[in-house]
Amino acid sequence: MTYPKPHFKKLEALLKNDKLPPDDKDQVDHAVEKYHEWIADT
């Protein structure tokens, strides 16, 4: 069964946003890593 991934879509949108400050990109990348770990645990 496939579940919706609204959190991941928000993170993807953040990474694609040209207005995202470069200093924040590392934090978003880290959040994406944690998201993938969270999904793998479910």
Show the domain range for 16.
6-41
3-class DSSP assignment, residue 2: coil
Number of domains making up the chain: 1
Examine residue 1 and state whether it is found in any structural domain, yes or no.
no
CA–CA dist 23, 27 (Å, integer): 8
Examine residue 24 and state whether it is found in any structural domain, yes or no.
yes
pTM of structure = 0.76
Of 21, 14, 23, the C-alpha closest to 32 is: 14
pLDDT tens-digit readout, 1-42: 677 777 899 999 999 999 999 999 999 999 999 998 988 876
Examine residue 32 and state whether it is found in any structural domain, yes or no.
yes
Q: Which amino acid is at 13?
A: A
Where b means 16+ CB within 10 Å and e means fewer, 5-33 reads: eeeeeebeebeeeeeeeeeeeeebeebbe
Examine residue 37 and state whether it is found in any structural domain, yes or no.
yes
